[in-house]
Amino acid sequence: MFSRFVKPAAFKPTGYGIQRVAQQTRFLATVEGSAGRAMPYTRPRATPISHDRATFTIRDGPVFHGKSFGAKSNISGEAVFTTSLVGYPESMTDPSYRGQILVFTQPLIGNYGVPSSARDEHGLLKYFESPNIQCVGVVVADYAEKYSHWTAVESLSDWCAREGVPAISGVDTRAIVTYLREEGSSLARITIGEEYDADQDEAFVDPEQINLVKKS
């Protein structure tokens, strides 16, 4: 019966409570007030890749199955690998990899996208070694479908597709590198979709037999 005569004490936030109420007040004022002060929302960049079945075959060696995230074309060339931890745009545009299938030992590739072809005050490319992708194919263990970097203008998947370069992910690149280290550089091919049914000699193209200087 005494509860009717007891006046409830007013709530007075102190310390962390005051700070939290102030933050909530500012948030509500931002939402209900001017749109110019609205909280920023960043939409994650999703990469529209096909996920077609892909195969990486080493001549007289193992066969690896994975998923495609580049151009839908079949290619062949000399399989080589790079141990670079960063800088896949620089590696892929390096003329020394012309006509070769580039295998990355770094497990995750594509997480910071592909930068623009901007040039510096001397007319040199800022982010690439050459204007176009030089390797004929790309092999990675894991491809990042979402990318984020302030210089990025497109995904690695879109770049490969635009340049006509097939790429495969989801393969054991450690096994590939071990084989190449033990057996030396080998001819290989990347096929997208159904297995390429060309003859053995036609399925593997040796870049050593091609005059790359004349072709360029």
CA angle in degrees (0–180, nearest 5) for 171-130-168: 15
The H or E element spanning position 194 is none
pLDDT of residue 79: 96
208 alpha-carbon distance from chain centroid: 29
Higher pLDDT, 134 or 200: 134
Higher pLDDT, 3 or 54: 54
Amino acid at 73: S
pLDDT of residue 15: 53
| Residue 85 DSSP class | S
Q: Where does 45-194+201-208 sit in CATH, by number?
A: 3.50.30.20
Average pLDDT in the 166-170 region?
97
Is the confidence at residue 111, as pLDDT, over 80? yes
Which of 146, 138, 191, 175 has its CA nearest to residue 46?
Answer: 146
Q: 71 near 163, Cβ under 8 Å?
A: yes
pLDDT in tens, 89-101: 999 999 999 999 9
**Interatomic CA distance for residues 59 and 80, integer angstroms:** 13
Residue 79, both tokens: 């399989």
CA distances from 189 to 137, 181, 198 (A): 8, 18, 11
Q: Give the CB-side neighbour count of residue 29, counting CA atoms within 13 A.
A: 6
Q: What's the pLDDT band for 193 if we cut at 50, 70, 90?
A: confident
pLDDT of residue 206: 72
